[in-house]
Chain A
Amino acid sequence: MIRLARALLVSTLLATTALAQPDTEASRFQADFLDGKLAWETVLETARAEGEVHFFYWGGGDNLNIWMDSVVAPALAELGVTLRANRITGTKDAVDLVLAETAAGKGIGEGSVDAIWLNGENFFTLKQQGQLFGSFAQALPNSVHFEWGQADPRSTLNLRDFGTTTEGMEVPWSGEQYVCVANRALMTLDQTPSDLAGLRAYLEANPGKFAYVKPPHYLGNTFVQQVLYAFNPDGTAASPFQASISELGAEELARLIEPGFAYLRELEPLLLGGPQGATRYPEDGAAADGLFRNSEIHLTCGFGLYAVATKRANGSYPDTAEEIIFPAGSMIKNKSYLAIPANAPNPAAALVLANYMSSVDAQVTRLELVGYPAGIDPWRLSPEDAARLEAAAPPHFGVTAAELDANIAPDTNASLVDVVEAVWLEYIERQSDDPFAAVVARAAAPALATQ
């Protein structure tokens, strides 16, 4: 009930805070930096004067937290900035805080969030509400580590976040790929599905031995998106899903996703609990990992290009866990980013943090210790740095990096993700009997109304 508490906090803030005077110094810093008038030395100096940075990030990974404390905090301390790590259970909590404080009249320089690790809907929300610091990414010294040229198709993930243009308001921090993992003690190589028809065949022989995380959790959404790509009736896979809902229209979307949703409905009785008449979707990644570790499911899917290596090492996965290429050609790859809210209390320190996080050192040590794929683009690095990055990568099990790379697909447009979530809730969870087109039209109505 954190959110309840937050809503109450808003009321308290509203009641107690008279509209404060804007922090003129912070406003000037923001304007000057975004106009390119400030040398990086000045930013470093301002950051030292600010002295600390409040970084909000999902704190559910032990390895990540350890890396933050043992690598990032000392590195920032050298620059005269104390890292205040705010470990949150959901990124939306930080977004809520920014919006609540803005609502309470805390303007530029007066908030309590300096930087957030986010992507997709959370970035979309902050950008839509005009709550971001501005286009800072290309002004960082380490921005040379990213491909920004629109002509190069490899720049897409730096320029678009779930279809929303980033406009430099966030800087890529980490890459990720959605990978399914098989327990080889239960699923042999020749039984391993490579496509969704194969998954159904496997579950017909082994009913109940798979579960995907329940949408609207992003891990569940991503599985559903991959199914929709694979069953795209035009055979154009992910490409039509790059458009926004207003460009695509509800009718066209319904036509594109109906076969995929028909498959998901047929699959439901074969999922965990289905044979007993009560299909059960795990609520989050930890719940799905628990089922997998406990041999209740033979296959689990989630973001984590190197998850098998790190989770085998910490015991979250059995030693018989191996990555598989599934569904072939539809493995979603995306990036996550660091964003700075408009009312960040220490914007210069936040910029210093963002710049450090984009450094080769930060990316190499994180890849090595945490297993999060690099957010910087290896072809933009010097050969020595690129080699360091390659050497730091944890091993793959059962597949090669080249195979994983060969099967990637882009993420779905953020505005479509909302609609797909709503369709899943109504068509799969609530088992709606209405015509499919009507279900999609209803789900798309709020998104279409605001555009």
Chain B
Amino acid sequence: MTRPAARSTARTGEPWQVAASLVPIGGVLGLMLGGAVLLAVAQSLGFAPWYGINSFPDPSYLAGLWGSKGFWVSVGLTLYYSLAATLLALLLALTTATLLVRSFPGRAVFGALYRLPLVVPYGVGIALAVIMMGNGGLVSRAFAAIGWIDDPSEFPRLLNTHAGWGVIAVYVWKQLPFMVVAIHAVMVGADREQAEAAVVLGASRWDVFRHVTLPQIAPGILSATLICFAFNMGAFEAPFILGGGYPDTLPVLAWRFFNDADYTMQLRGMAVVVSIAALTGALVLAYLAAYRAYERSIGRA
């Protein structure tokens, strides 16, 4: 399994050219993101003179948050929704992408239809979940209408519970096509001959997937899951509208602090925001490190 020669010849330029081409993105990231992160960290450490609060550096906001039991339940819920949705979407995306590289009747129509959620906003997806899955929704009403249950409220609760079926459903619905696009693009570009050679040499379908296809599509899986997971960790609307209430996910918790009439609560909100960023950042770095290790293990440095 040798690396294609074309990949190793990266174009190099003069250092000043590299620096100049980094200025636009560097400026955007440095000012917009860097400034925001700095301010968030400063506020979470007690710096908010515009509300008459300045006890910087004051670890009590972060310490108070991390010391409360509810916070860790919130961390658990946030991780659960993010991971469950990402993994479920990945499984479905792998199946769909594998299907799409074959030819079958109606493939063109299917290939266009599955991308539909990409252009539909999250808010619409959430509304669809309420209309379909809610206890005043179409499904529960249909069950009550045909007499399987006496009242729509007796239908098993899918929304507004901590099991989070609604939240996960909306994430998967929206992110599945995105993952399929990312993985399918890599699959199409991958070398089919290796897989065919492996089959000729007697490999089972699982072996082919495990040793040929998976290494080929790993970069697509990495980028798709990374983006979806990081998005889910910070997503607000779906858990706010479809979630189970207290304890809330971290972004909803942050919103509640920001929305409190008591201004000093905003510093606690910032502590939550900083915690989300730190947690997501650490997990993404760990994931990237694991991916590097995997690349090395299969001989791609």
Contact status of A92 and B259, CB under 8 A, knowing A100-B50, A280-B245, A294-B136: yes
Closest residue of B by beta carbon distance from A90: B259
Is A439 engaged at the interface, CB distance under 8 Å to the other chain? no
Q: Are A1 and B255 in contact (CB-based, < 8 A)?
A: yes
Neighbouring B residues of A296 by C-beta, 8 Å: 135-136, 152-153
Measured in the bound complex, the distance between the Cα atoms of B43 and A4 in whole Å is 11
Report the minimal beta-carbon distance from A415 to chain B, rounded to whole angstroms: 11
A99 at the interface (CB under 8 A from B): yes
Interface-facing stretch out of B17-25, B105-113, B174-182, B262-270: B262-270
A3 at interface, CB cutoff 8 A:
yes
Interfacial chain A residues near B264, Cβ < 8 Å: 446
> Chain B 126-158 against A: per-residue CB contact (8 Å), 1 yes, 0 no?
000000000110000000000000001100110
For A278, give its contact among B50, B160, B241 (CB under 8 Å): B160
The answer to whether A240 has its CB under 8 Å from any CB of chain B is: no
- A163 to B243 Cα, complex, angstroms: 36
Query: Quick one: CB contact mask for A76-115 with B, threshold 8 Å, 1 for yes?
Result: 0000000000000010100000011011100000000000
- Interface: B63 (CB within 8 A): no
Cβ contact within 8 Å between B261 and A99:
no
Give the distance to chain B from A289, nearest Cβ to Cβ, in Å: 12
A214, CB-defined interface residue at 8 Å: yes
Q: Which residues of A in the span 194-250 have a Cβ within 8 Å of any Cβ on B? A: 208, 214, 216
Least CB distance from B218 to A in Å reads: 33
With A92-B261, A273-B160: A10-B245 Cβ-Cβ less than 8 Å: no
B262 near A103 with CB under 8 A, answer no
Q: Mark B23-58, 1 if CB is under 8 A from A, else 0.
A: 000000000000110011001000001110000000
Contact with B along A265-277 (1 / 0, CB 8 A): 0000000010110
A-B contact count (CB 8 A): 81
Given that A11-B35, A278-B161 are known contacts, is A4 also in contact with B261, CB under 8 Å in the complex? no
Residues of A within 8 A of B246 (CB): 425, 429-430
Question: Are the CB atoms of B259 and A7 closer together than 8 Å?
Answer: no
Closest to A414 in B: B261
Knowing A90-B259, A100-B50, the reply to whether A275 touches B153 (Cβ < 8 A) is yes
Q: Is the CB of A125 within 8 A of B263?
A: yes
- The residues of A that contact B152 with a CB separation of less than 8 Å are 296
A273 to B251, CA, bound (A): 24
- Closest Cβ of chain B to A131, distance in Å, is 12
User: Which residues of A lie under 8 Å from residue B156 when comparing CB positions?
Assistant: 276
Q: Does A400 contact B (CB under 8 A)?
A: no
In Å, the complex CA distance between A73 and B123 comes to 33
- Beyond A281-B245, A294-B136, is A3–B259 a contact (Cβ under 8 Å)? yes
Distance in angstroms between the alpha carbons of A102 and B273 in the assembled complex: 25
| B240 on the A face (CB < 8 A) | yes
Known: A11-B35, A208-B153, A295-B136. A1 touches B266 (CB 8 A): no
Residues of B within 8 A of A11 (CB): 35-36, 39
**A4 contacts B262, C-beta separation under 8 Å:** no
Q: Report B81 CB to chain A, min CB distance, Å.
A: 16
Q: Which of A1-53 contact B (CB under 8 A)?
A: 1, 3-4, 7-8, 10-12, 14
Could you say which residues of chain B place their CB within 8 Å of the CB of A280? 160, 244-245
Q: How far is the CA of A3 from the CA of B273 in the complex (A)?
A: 12
User: When the two chains form their complex, are residues B157 and A7 in contact, meaning their CB atoms are under 8 A apart?
Assistant: no
Is the beta-carbon distance between A103 and B49 smaller than 8 angstroms? yes
Assuming the contacts A11-B39, A291-B136, asked whether A273 and B157 have C-beta atoms less than 8 A apart, the reply is: yes
Residue among A100, A216, A291 making CB contact with B261, cutoff 8 Å: A216
B59 within 8 A of A: no
A208, B254: Cα distance in complex, Å: 29
Is B295 on the interface with A (CB-CB < 8 A)? no
Q: Kindly state whether residue B70 has any CB partner on chain A within 8 Å.
A: yes
Within 8 A of A (CB), among B58-72: 70
The verdict on B236 contacting chain A, using a C-beta distance below 8 Å, is yes
Given contacts A4-B258, A283-B240, A296-B153, whether A214 and B136 have CB atoms under 8 Å apart is no
Q: Chain B residues near A258 (CB, 8 Å)?
A: none
- Cβ of A4: which chain B residues have Cβ within 8 Å of it? 254, 258, 273
Output the nearest chain B residue to A104 by Cβ-Cβ distance.
B50
Max chain A Cβ within 10 angstroms of own Cβ: one of B40, B236, B260: B260
The CA of A122 and the CA of B260, in the complex, are separated in Å by 11
CB distance from B42 to the nearest CB of A (A): 9
Main secondary structure of the interface of B (DSSP, over half): helix
Q: How far is the CB of A327 from chain B (nearest CB, A)?
A: 25
| A1 with B261, Cβ < 8 A, contacts A11-B35, A214-B245, A429-B246 known | no
Whether B270 lies near A216 (C-beta < 8 A) is: no
Contact with A along B263-295 (1 / 0, CB 8 A): 110100110010000000000000000000000
Decide: A278 near B157, CB < 8 A? Known: A7-B270, A216-B261: yes
C-beta contact mask, B67-107 vs A, less than 8 Å → 1, else 0? Answer: 00010000000000000000000000000000000000000
Instruction: Determine which of A7, A14, A295, A429 lies in contact with B245 in the assembled complex, contact meaning CB atoms within 8 Å.
Output: A429
A121 in the interface, Cβ–Cβ < 8 Å? yes
| CA–CA, A11 and B264, complex, Å | 17
Please determine whether B36 and A8 come into contact, CB atoms closer than 8 angstroms.
yes
Q: In the docked arrangement, what's the CA distance between A99 and B50, Å?
A: 7
Known: A281-B245, A429-B246. A446 touches B262 (CB 8 A): yes
Docked-complex contact B157 and A276, CB < 8 angstroms: yes
Please determine whether B70 and A430 come into contact, CB atoms closer than 8 angstroms.
yes
Which residues on the B side are within 8 Å of A294 (C-beta)? 136
Residue of chain B at shortest CB distance from A447? B262
From A12, which residue of chain B is reached at the shortest CB distance?
B35
Partner of A418, one of B135, B261, B269, B273: B261
In chain A, what residue has the closest Cβ to B241? A283
Known: A8-B39, A11-B35, A429-B245. A3 touches B266 (CB 8 A): yes
Chain A residue contacts of B260, Cβ below 8 A = 216
**Cα-based distance from A253 to B39 in the complex (angstroms):** 39
Docked-complex contact A7 and B262, CB < 8 angstroms: no
Q: Which 4 pairs show the lowest CB-CB distances between chains A and B?
A: A103-B50, A294-B136, A3-B258, A121-B261
A279-B245, A280-B160, A291-B136 given; 19 more Cβ-contact pairs under 8 Å: A1-B255, A3-B259, A4-B258, A7-B43, A7-B270, A8-B36, A11-B35, A12-B35, A90-B259, A92-B261, A99-B50, A99-B263, A103-B50, A125-B261, A278-B157, A280-B244, A283-B241, A418-B261, A446-B264
* Interface of B toward A, CB cutoff 8 Å: 35-36, 39-40, 43, 49-51, 70, 135-136, 152-153, 156-157, 160-162, 236, 240-241, 244-246, 251, 254-255, 258-264, 266, 269-270, 273
A-B contact pairs, 11 of them (CB 8 A): A3-B255, A4-B254, A8-B35, A11-B36, A11-B39, A122-B261, A125-B263, A214-B245, A278-B162, A425-B246, A429-B246
